Amino acid sequence: MAAPDDPYSFAAWCRESLVDFTKLNAEKQVFIGFLLAIFIAAMVRVIEVTGGIPSVYEHLIYLPLFFSGLLLGPRIGALGGFVCGLALSPLSFSSQLIAENEIAVGWLIRLLILILVPTIAGLITNSVRELVALEKKAKHTYHGTELPNIEALKEQLRTIGEEEDSSTDDLVDIFNFKLQNLERIQHQIGTERTEKLMRQLAEKLRKAIGDSAHIGQTSQNELVGVSTDAKQSHKELEKKISSLLERPIVIDGVPYQLDSATGVLRVKKGALKEQEDQIVEQAQQHAFEAREKKQNFAFLEPDDAIANLAEASFSRQLTEALERNDIKLYYQPRLNANSGYFSVLEGIVKWTDPKRGDMDPDEFRPLIEEADLTKQFTSWMVKKAFEDIKNWHQNNFVVRVSLHITLNDVIEPSVLNAVAHELHESKFPPRNFSLEVSERSLMRISDKAKRYLEKLRSIGVNIIADHFGDGAATIQSLFVLPVDAVKLSEELVKKATSNSDKKRALTSMVKMARSRGLKTIATGIDDRSKLLLLKQIGCEELQGSILSKPQPKDDIPWARIR
């Protein structure tokens, strides 16, 4: 703790002293509260015996009690006020003083005030603490599952690194569980059941690793764990975790087998104090490499981990890839079922990495989520799309463009603001631009993002609810949200081609959407049966590999676009 006579650290010393005081046990706090009450009573008695103070200052005696309520809470603060009131009761004054001051009624009023002041101050403190706790929880939990997120993981690592009751050479295990088939399972069972599955898996992993383990979630298909009980060998860990993951997770009576690539990074505790960010990146990269090598389990020893900390972080890799033009925006045409021409170009990102090869969005999206780069990457997509739009306008191409902007199922107001800025700068007609946002993000949209979407929609931008059918949303629930079209999920279309009940449900859904003025869009059309079905039930726009694959901007079939 800094010395109080240091002028540059006095505030820090006060703050740390306050924190230390609040950590005292209840008995010590009560004792200090009694001392404070007696001190206040003694000061008031001295003032009154010596002739009192000017009336303008007499209420300052309540300030110490107010601060005691803030420090000690409403119950102990009220107790201190009560003791202070008893010390100032008529029994503590001479009969001459009692007679002169008509103290009976006045003392009762003062006693009530002495109790209420610290009580109210303590209640205010409790309310503030609850709000701070709720805010902290929101910042440190993964949306949907409510498991600890990557920020909570880093905070846990810092806490472990700062512990003083153990050696800096003690070992800590950091686990990464990448679930490779989770997206396919989510298409089958929906978002809510998938979140339930992740919570259940996290609890099983915590029990398997040990009571000291903390399990959280850093992206849609990744769980992480931190354990200070790093005494087990590589073989013991592999056997224990592999045995757990080989058993299916049962949700509502149905078993689901998970395909996981597990990476374990073992580091010395001393490295966590100042290098938690680099260690988290290293652990994530280690697990990713395990998946690329098709390993179910990979273990990295401390010396190897520290040696590899100097490798480029994923953030730097992404920046370099953008600079090298390894990441490009392709465009997949969307067919207008009525006219027979392509009417919209949907922007789709592809990444050609020197080491990993060609990656589509589903492959590198978890990496971007892990490194918290979704806003940066989505803003780049918006900027790149409008650069291409400007180029097409210069060549007199008439085009409508659609762009998906919720890589992590969150509608970011800053990205919507970037879209508005580009529309203004480019003079591109808003009616020719569509924003695709996932069904899940719409059901959790913030008030600010909803206002921004409504403003964009009011000037003509089309808002499309993407991946509709993956989660729990219904057509009726979308009627109250700012959307103009529904993009049916691939799984919904796939089931309708092989199941008559699913076909009738899809037909009813399309009719209901059209009756309410919502356009219907189908994607994932990769065979003739799906194409004929969707034309038959009246889906207005169609997209898939049988119609056209994503094309580089220079290879777009302009002759077929209307």
Question: What is the reported pLDDT for 347?
Answer: 93
Is 227's pLDDT higher than 50? yes
Question: What is the reported pLDDT for 333?
Answer: 94
Question: What is the reported pLDDT for 521?
Answer: 93
Mean pLDDT of 229-244: 77
Quick: pLDDT tens for 112-137: 877 787 788 778 777 777 766 665 55
Distance CA 178, CA 182 (A): 9
Question: What is the reported pLDDT for 97?
Answer: 42
Question: What is the reported pLDDT for 435?
Answer: 95
Distance CA 155, CA 151 (A): 6
Confidence of residue 317 (pLDDT cuts 50, 70, 90): confident
Confidence of residue 346 (pLDDT cuts 50, 70, 90): very high
Confidence of residue 56 (pLDDT cuts 50, 70, 90): very low
3-state secondary structure 49-116: HCCCCCHHHHHHHHHHHHHHHHHHCHHHHHHHHHHHHHHCCHHHCCHHHHHHHCHHHHHHHHHHHHHH
Mean pLDDT of 173-185: 82
Is 302's pLDDT higher than 60? no
Residues 6+ apart with CB under 8 A from 68: 33, 36, 37, 76, 77, 80, 118, 121
Distance CA 225, CA 205 (A): 8
Mean pLDDT of 495-516: 86
DSSP summary character for residue 295: -
Question: What is the reported pLDDT for 458?
Answer: 93
103 or 236, higher pLDDT:
236
Q: Copy the structure tokens of residue 398.
A: 């008439």
Question: What is the reported pLDDT for 464?
Answer: 93
Residues 6+ apart with CB under 8 A from 216: 142, 147, 148, 149, 150, 152, 153, 202, 223, 224, 225
Is 432's pLDDT higher than 70? yes
224 or 472, higher pLDDT:
224
Is 556's pLDDT higher than 80? yes
Closest by Cα among 123, 260, 134 to 202: 260
For all residues of the chain together, what is the average pLDDT? 77
Q: 215-224, 275-284, 317-326, 505-514: which range is least confident on average? A: 275-284
Question: What is the reported pLDDT for 140?
Answer: 66
Domains of the chain, with CATH numbers?
A: 10-139 (no CATH), 150-311 (3.30.70.270), 315-560 (3.20.20.450)
Confidence of residue 496 (pLDDT cuts 50, 70, 90): confident
Question: What is the reported pLDDT for 71?
Answer: 67
CB atoms within 10 A of CB 246: 11
Ranked by mean pLDDT, the top range of 48-57, 107-116, 452-461 is: 452-461
Confidence of residue 385 (pLDDT cuts 50, 70, 90): very high
Is 256's pLDDT higher than 60? yes
532 or 91, higher pLDDT:
532
Q: Among residues of the chain, what percentage have pLDDT more than 90?
A: 14
Quick: pLDDT tens for 98-115: 444 444 566 677 778 777
